[in-house]
Amino acid sequence: MKYMRTAEIREAYIKKKDRALVIQILKRVKRVKEGLFPDKGEHAPCDNCTFRELCDTKKAPTLLSKLFGRRERE
Q: What is the pTM of this model?
A: 0.50
Domain extent listing, the chain: 2-68
pLDDT in tens, 27-73: 999 988 888 777 777 787 888 888 777 777 766 666 767 777 755 55
Q: What is the mean pLDDT of residues 11-40?
A: 90
Tell me, what's the pLDDT at 19? 96
Tell me, what's the pLDDT at 22? 96
Which sign does the torsion angle of CA 22, 23, 24, 25 carry? positive
3-state secondary structure the chain: CEECCCCEECCCCCCHHHHHHHHHHHHHHHHHHCCCCCCECCCCCHHHCCCCCCCCCCECCCHHHHHHCCCCCC
Tell me, what's the pLDDT at 25? 95
Tell me, what's the pLDDT at 53? 78
